[in-house]
Chains A and B, each alone.
Chain A
Amino acid sequence: MSKIASAFAEGKAFIPFITCGDPDLATTAAAVREAVKNGADLIELGIPFSDPTAEGPVIQGANIRALSGGIKTKDVFDLVRELRKDVTIPLVFMTYANVVFSYGSEKFIKTCSEIGIDGLIIPDIPYEEKEEFQPFCDKYDVDLISMVAPTSEERVAMIAKEAKGFIYIVSSLGVTGMRSSFSSDLDAVVAKIREVTDVPCAIGFGISNPEQAKKMAAVADGVIVGSAVVKILEEKGVDAPSSVGAFIKEMKDACRG
């Protein structure tokens, strides 16, 4: 069984996203440890990319700050090695296809496996293109996370049937970033997924407060929050980790219902 499943084993999972290297790697490490201490069940670590086409302004900004600080892919691998000395919850990378491809797809995914990365989220790899990475993910036991969107409709079953780790349900149209309303069909999407698989589902994109987290946790098995966490890092910089921890505690409590 996938190690990722353990994140969903004890009630609703809370999954924060943090861009590695924003503002620096030491702050990322401290923020991750605060997140773990305050109840995060799984953490998405973003490897910065120059042109993140699925991101809204907040996470775009984090990518640019991290790259301006000189973060390289190998630095992120070193960060994970350091975190794995004490962090035991599942960790996944979120990045773009070219970051993986340019490193050498097999070498990248083999390294993920060696350093303790349990899954990969690559928003520019839809079902039709997953063969780009899936064979290496299978070989090195890293889950390639499938995404389902409000526009997926008849594609949901096809995607869900082959999903591993967890299914990332995109809450609404558009890019990442805080918003006030979500697709009204999320219940139906979860129901379609449930017809074909028991793989847990987590909803992300735009969730920024406890009220929204509670509502989404009632629909799915987990809640993903990116921009709202990154916003704290943007505003507080190296002093952000304790505030990140406090926010995660509040959000995790909301998910418990």
Chain B
Amino acid sequence: MTNPAGRFGIHGGQYIPETLMNAVNELEEAYNHYKNDPEFNRELTELFNEYANRPSLLYYAKKMTEDLGGAKIYLKREDLNHTGAHKVNNVLGQALLAKKMGKTRLIAETGAGQHGVATATAAALFGMECVVFMGEEDTIRQALNVYRMRLLGAEVIPVKTGTRTLKDAVSEAMREWTTRIDDTHYCLGSVMGPHPFPTIVRDFQAVISKEIKEQILEKEGRLPDAVLACVGGGSNAIGSFYHFIEDKDVKLIGCEAAGRGIDTFETAATVNTGKLGIFHGMKSYFCQDEDGQIAPVYSISAGLDYPGVGPEHANLHDIGRAQYVPVTDEEAVQAFEYLSKMEGIIPAIESAHAVAYARKLAPTMSRDQIIVITISGRGDKDCAAIARYRGEDIHE
């Protein structure tokens, strides 16, 4: 007899060591209880509104719309959240849940550092201990975020195994969790890993599409024609898509990091180049070789530099409900510069992948159509790296 829990089509599941099974079962049980608990939801809404600056703006990008000469463009400003990215939505939810479960210590993985910063922030707010695992390569690319986490009281452990990036940070956080379960909650940062994480993270991020829907109906009196978001593991994308999944006329478009191109090995575009596999607790699509060895992926964006994709995205791809398009480093950097100059908004390099695709898509659409792009985070953290990409060496 098997447990069909946590499946999205054929994807998902709980492919984890036996040592962790009771921990994820306990988490599922607690979540199923608290998600319908009015007091829990009241506290979470208060945190969202009073601490994290929700609801985030839905901003009409007038200049960009006029410049591209096609669909009307709205930006969902998750970059304006406290800590500067959508990550805080999930972290406040999980930290509150962990606290209710009696946990006193949060551990997390981080790529770009945004999830690590958000977790360190929540730990500081709730008075919890916090340890963040970050690939050594990423601690160099995102030194400022390492400092922010330490300032917030977290311990940052540089991970020196494998490719020293996000996937290795996830592996190391999972290893740490098997070592210390009783007082520790693993605050996973994306819609990935074993059930119930893809569902829990999705539910906490779904506030993004809930707000988009209310805001666009108020501003335009109708639903958008397309919603665009960048996809690494896929948490801001699933959050942006979720309340539109049943609205079949709304196109859902995930923008993957193609790195130097999907015809090269230096890519992180999982849906476009990966194949079905089992890793990090889930069945989904992964970049891997013919022997199932996980591929060393590449993207200029540390936050999208992951060889897998969340199981719900894998299923939305299978059933044709969402489309996943590759965006190269060069296109993303151009979009990073474009949005800065055009709207005075510096997006995270991750979010710039979605902006880049919108620049191609909008001109092909008519002026009475509407695109919403989720700006998942702010780009301050990326300025030094983008300057380097353009051949300018600046010191922070």
Question: Quick one: given A51-B162, A98-B292, A174-B178, are A130 and B2 in contact (CB under 8 Å)?
Answer: yes
Which of A81-89, A109-117, A146-154, A196-204 is the interface stretch? A146-154
- Of the candidates A54, A73, A129, the one whose C-beta lies within 8 Å of that of B14 is A129
List CB contacts (< 8 Å) of B161-190 with chain A.
161-162, 167-168, 171, 174-175, 178-181
Residue of B nearest to A56 (CB): B175
Asked if B245 lies at the interface with its beta carbon under 8 angstroms from chain A, I say no
B-facing mask of A104-139, CB < 8 A → 1, else 0? 000000000000000000011111111110000000
- Complex CA gap A255/B174 in Å reads 32
Q: Which residues of A contact B279 (CB under 8 A)?
A: 51, 97-98
CB A45 to nearest CB in B, in angstroms, measures: 16
Asked if B13 lies at the interface with its beta carbon under 8 angstroms from chain A, I say yes
Asked if A50 lies at the interface with its beta carbon under 8 angstroms from chain B, I say yes
Residue of B nearest to A60 (CB): B161
Q: Which residues of B contact A53 (CB under 8 A)?
A: 17, 171, 174-175, 280
CB B49 to nearest CB in A, in angstroms, measures: 38
B-facing mask of A167-191, CB < 8 A → 1, else 0? 0001001110000000000000000
Residue of B nearest to A75 (CB): B291
Q: Which residues of A contact B294 (CB under 8 A)?
A: 50-51, 98
A151 touches B2 (CB 8 A): no
Once A and B bind, how many residue pairs between them come within 8 Å at the CB atom? 121
A-facing mask of B269-313, CB < 8 A → 1, else 0? 000000111111100001010111110000000000000000000
CB A152 to nearest CB in B, in angstroms, measures: 6
Asked if B16 lies at the interface with its beta carbon under 8 angstroms from chain A, I say yes
A123 touches B22 (CB 8 A): no
Asked if A67 lies at the interface with its beta carbon under 8 angstroms from chain B, I say yes
- Of the candidates B14, B21, B181, the one whose C-beta lies within 8 Å of that of A173 is B181
B17 touches A123 (CB 8 A): yes
Q: Which residues of B contact A102 (CB under 8 A)?
A: 275, 277, 288, 290-292
A126 touches B14 (CB 8 A): yes
Asked if A72 lies at the interface with its beta carbon under 8 angstroms from chain B, I say yes
Q: Which residues of B contact A124 (CB under 8 A)?
A: 15-17, 278, 281
- Complex CA gap A98/B23 in Å reads 23
Asked if A30 lies at the interface with its beta carbon under 8 angstroms from chain B, I say no
Residue of B nearest to A61 (CB): B161
Of A102, A153, A170, the most chain B CB neighbours within 10 A belong to A102
- Of the candidates A64, A72, A129, A153, the one whose C-beta lies within 8 Å of that of B15 is A129
B-facing mask of A19-58, CB < 8 A → 1, else 0? 0000000000000000000000000000001110110110
- Of the candidates B22, B179, B280, the one whose C-beta lies within 8 Å of that of A152 is B22
A173 touches B179 (CB 8 A): yes
B286 touches A98 (CB 8 A): yes
Q: Which residues of A contact B39 (CB under 8 A)?
A: none
- Complex CA gap A143/B159 in Å reads 35
Of B14, B276, B278, the most chain A CB neighbours within 10 A belong to B278
Q: Which residues of A contact B18 (CB under 8 A)?
A: 123, 126-127, 147-149, 151-152, 155, 159, 170
Asked if A99 lies at the interface with its beta carbon under 8 angstroms from chain B, I say yes
A153 touches B178 (CB 8 A): no
Q: Which residues of B contact A155 (CB under 8 A)?
A: 18, 21-22
B-facing mask of A92-105, CB < 8 A → 1, else 0? 00001111111100
Q: Which residues of A contact B181 (CB under 8 A)?
A: 151, 173
- Complex CA gap A150/B278 in Å reads 25
B15 touches A127 (CB 8 A): no
Q: Which residues of A contact B15 (CB under 8 A)?
A: 97, 124-126, 129, 132
CB A28 to nearest CB in B, in angstroms, measures: 17
Asked if B264 lies at the interface with its beta carbon under 8 angstroms from chain A, I say no
Q: Which residues of B contact A103 (CB under 8 A)?
A: 291-292
- Complex CA gap A131/B293 in Å reads 22
List CB contacts (< 8 Å) of B38-61 with chain A.
none
Asked if B36 lies at the interface with its beta carbon under 8 angstroms from chain A, I say no
B292 touches A101 (CB 8 A): yes
A174 touches B179 (CB 8 A): yes
- Complex CA gap A231/B214 in Å reads 60
- Between A and B, 8 residue pairs with Cβ closer than 8 Å are A53-B175, A72-B291, A96-B278, A97-B15, A99-B291, A103-B291, A124-B281, A126-B16
